[in-house]
Amino acid sequence: MEHAPTWLTYGFLYLTAAVLAVPIAKALGLGAIIGYLAAGIAIGPWGLGLVSNVQDILHFAEFGVVLMLFLVGLELQPSRLWALRRPIFGTGSAQVLGCAAVLFALGALAGLPWRVSLVGALGLALSSTAIALQSLTERNLLRTQSGQAGFSILLFQDVAAIPILAMLPVLGAAAGEGVGHTPGDVALEALKIVAVIAAIILGGRLLLRPVLRWIAKSNTPEIFTAAALLLVVGIAYLMVMVGLSMALGAFLAGVLLADSEYRRELEADIEPFKGLLLGLFFIAVGMSIDFGVILRSPGLMAAILIGFLAAKAVVIYTLAKLVNIPYQERPVFTLLLAQGGEFAFVVFQAAAGANVFPAETASLLIGAVALSMLISPLLLVLLDRVLLRRYAKVKAPAAEEISEPQEAPIIIAGFGRYGQIVSRVLLAEGIHTTVLDHSVDMLEVARTFGYRVFYGDATRLDLLRIAGAEHARILVIAVDDAEQSLKIAKLAREHFPNLQIVARARDITHWNKLRDLGVTLVQRELFESSLKSAHTVLELMGLSPAEATTFTDRFRKHNIALADRMYPHHKDQAKYIAVAREGRSQLAEQMAKERQESAALGATGGQYPGYGVPEDGIRGDGAASARHSDK
């Protein structure tokens, strides 16, 4: 019997572990990240022992983080990146230097050599970009004030990893066991770094778009996908060759393509690979936890883990207060940045290779970082279920960016293309509104037009309280995401029963789910605009405006009545479909009968120009029928 290739065996193991562990973790309310980490522990050296070459897998899986930063860059145009320069270098440097200073002091108090304390402090000051960004995205916090601050800090950490790695050979040489770098070598390395970054920026501006345009003209989707992956792989390779962060290079490339015409297609092509490789990265982190080191020194490991998490948490929470992050966002912000990060693995392994400290010390620090990445998602679940629920039950004071009490009679959740129209109509009538949206761009538009704005996610109960939901008369749910819309409706129905809800439904399925929650004032977002288009088509087919209006009005009333008839059966698919077919047949038959009667009386409504009515007036399936005429 032949043995399966290694890649096939490992691929089968990773996919099986993920498919089993992630749904279980999600069902338990623990989140996908915990599922991936648990899967890694299960198949790793300290679980079933099915995988042994953990470091090779971890290096490959880090490409998931690279793809994630590329996609983040695609969402961030150069003008917005320039606007973030102060938080990146201000808040980011404050976090890294502040945490490193406190951790260095703790290491010195513990009697560690200064080199061990310094490198350990700098490595532990870094945070997990993968876990932090994934968690912020899952909670719709990436566009909030805490999300923007967190992203700025993570981006600065990617930049800070470069000089940290560069100083390790110097520290090793200072210890008498390494080879030092001459000033000329350092200058040459710096020149390489500047040249590569300049090449990415200039190449992105001058070459990338013409090349992508040329590839797109081939009309071969798989080649465009290959080109998208080649772009990210090539830039990552270039960055590694000069000792820079792959993720930083991919991010810069994404920013340069953020305002290109190929942005959406690049996102669609890369998103599936990003998700799979990020999952593999979390699995590899789970496999990399060295439980042997933990078992040999459990007390020391616990002291390192608790010590660095607590020290970072104090510094980061203090920083959050100084930069005026809303108090209800501070716990998640603090926890996501307090954990260790994937770059710490690289720093500590390089430090051991440069003889800055022994391999045993590196194993201890890497184990502490990996454990922090394991328990952070668990602590996030605890935060969601305990602390944030307590925040929601307490009537919260106004967030820092709100300068006056919110007492508008109407709250609008979502300021997209739907919410904007509602807001403008009300503003024209002189009715004050409070607008909630977690998109920075949309909030800037809202403030420009003079709306009351909250900077946050309307699915949070504490934010609805701050917005004045207890005293408002109407809540307009205009968010684009159906699941988010249902969450807001459920919160409002449970906690603010006197608040009338007017909601937007994406389709009939969303409409039914809102009705299940007791929301009766629901508009399907494309229904009226579709009727307007149908009205135009009927006129182009030869009907008078009055006849087209009569027919579309009749259809509107029939469709609304049919939706009400279908709603009680929407959980019984067979009955639901039967009622829908019956309703469509009734309308088709009624309209065909009226056309025939009108034709018999000599009116113009019997036939449309170029088409005739069949003898029976309807098709076999009960829908209206038309055929070409010989006229």
- Give the 3-state DSSP-derived string for 167-185, with helices as H, strands as E and coil as C: HHHHHHHHCCCCCCCCHHH
Rounded average pLDDT over 301-327: 89
pLDDT band of residue 451 (cuts 50, 70, 90) is: low
Residue 175 reports pLDDT greater than 60: no
Structure tokens at 598: 């009108």
pLDDT digit string, tens, across residues 358-371: 877 888 888 888 88
pLDDT digit string, tens, across residues 188-242: 666 776 777 777 777 766 777 788 778 877 777 778 778 877 887 888 787 777 7
Query: Cα–Cα distance between 42 and 35 in angstroms, integer?
Result: 10
Residue 238 burial by Cβ neighbours in a 10 Å radius (0-12, 13-18, 19+): middle
89-93, 141-145, 202-206: range with highest mean pLDDT = 89-93
Rounded average pLDDT over 445-464: 68
Residue 470 reports pLDDT greater than 70: yes
Quick check: 412 and 419 in contact, CB under 8 A?
yes
Opening angle at CA 241, ends 240 and 242, nearest 5: 90
91-95, 201-205, 283-287: range with highest mean pLDDT = 91-95
Quick check: 291 and 58 in contact, CB under 8 A?
no
- The least confident of 9-18, 255-264, 371-380, 457-466 is 255-264
Query: Cα–Cα distance between 254 and 343 in angstroms, integer?
Result: 21
Query: Cα–Cα distance between 573 and 576 in angstroms, integer?
Result: 5
Query: Cα–Cα distance between 110 and 205 in angstroms, integer?
Result: 51
Amino acid at 77: Q
DSSP state letter for 612: E
**b/e burial code for range 591-608 (CB count within 10 A of at least 16 → b):** bbebbbeeeeeeeebbbb
Q: What is the pLDDT of residue 292?
A: 77
Q: What is the pLDDT of residue 317?
A: 92
Rounded average pLDDT over 406-426: 81
Phi-psi region of 427 (alpha: psi -120 to 50; beta: other; left: phi over 0): alpha
Q: How far is CA 590 from CA 530, 547, 580, 616, 625, in A?
A: 22, 16, 16, 12, 13
CA 47 distance to own-chain centroid: 31
